[in-house]
Chains A and B, each alone.
Chain A
Amino acid sequence: GQQVQQSPASLVLQEGENAELQCNFSSTATQLQWFYQSPGGSLVSLLSNPSGTKHTGRLTSTTVTKERRSSLHISSSQTTDSGTYLCAIDLYQGGRALIFGTGTTVSVSP
């Protein structure tokens, strides 16, 4: 089965609304990263959060390692937040290759 599952698959927001994206993974992970992929395709790392809570700007990630889940909270969404959010885990195999989920597509309208 899929090792990294993200939900919801898509999300539609009005500007200013908050959103919570979920990531569940099937194996113990030593690293977890959240990425943003723009509509144009470029991939940007948002947060590296293997455990606990981390903030950056309007983003908060909480990872509970023993429950194999992570969330990404977007507060006060803006139209520029539209894109796909990818969760990826590192099943340490001697090289830290990432296993990606298929993402949550977020659309924020004005």
Chain B
Amino acid sequence: DMKVTQMPRYLIKRMGENVLLECGQDMSHETMYWYRQDPGLGLQLIYISYDVDSNSEGDIPKGYRVSRKKREHFSLILDSAKTNQTSVYFCASSSDRERYAEQFFGPGTRLTVL
């Protein structure tokens, strides 16, 4: 069953706390992504990972870092969360072997920073 999972689904944190969002996929996809979605702005790319320990900044990386130590797992870390990082975070994955590869998305994590 091709699936992208995200944990947790909902999270409330206080400003200044650290946040860890986890993503997993069971399709052996090389490429994984973190997006955030805000009203009126659509989804924006935070980070992209091409494989283990091969990560690149997306359009809005400031305030975030990522970790990919296994192909099937991709973590998003917020060190000292800020209120403007309240958002819905989506993880996605895709295969590099197909010319027109689809991206598969997880169910999202709704993060509130108070």
Contacts and interface: CB of A to CB of B under 8 A. Distances in A.
Nearest to A32: B100
Nearest to B108: A41
B105 interface: yes
A48 B100 contact: yes
Interface string A19-45: 000000000001101010000011111
Contact of A45 (B50, B58, B100, B102): B102
Contact of B94 (A41, A43, A96, A102): A96
A74 interface: no
Contact of B58 (A97, A100, A102): A97
A83 interface: no
21 contacts: A31-B100, A31-B101, A35-B105, A43-B105, A43-B108, A45-B102, A50-B100, A86-B42, A86-B43, A95-B33, A95-B48, A95-B50, A96-B94, A96-B96, A96-B101, A98-B43, A98-B103, A100-B42, A101-B42, A102-B40, A102-B41
Interface of B: 31, 33, 40-45, 48, 50, 56, 58, 88, 90, 92, 94, 96, 100-105, 107-108, 110
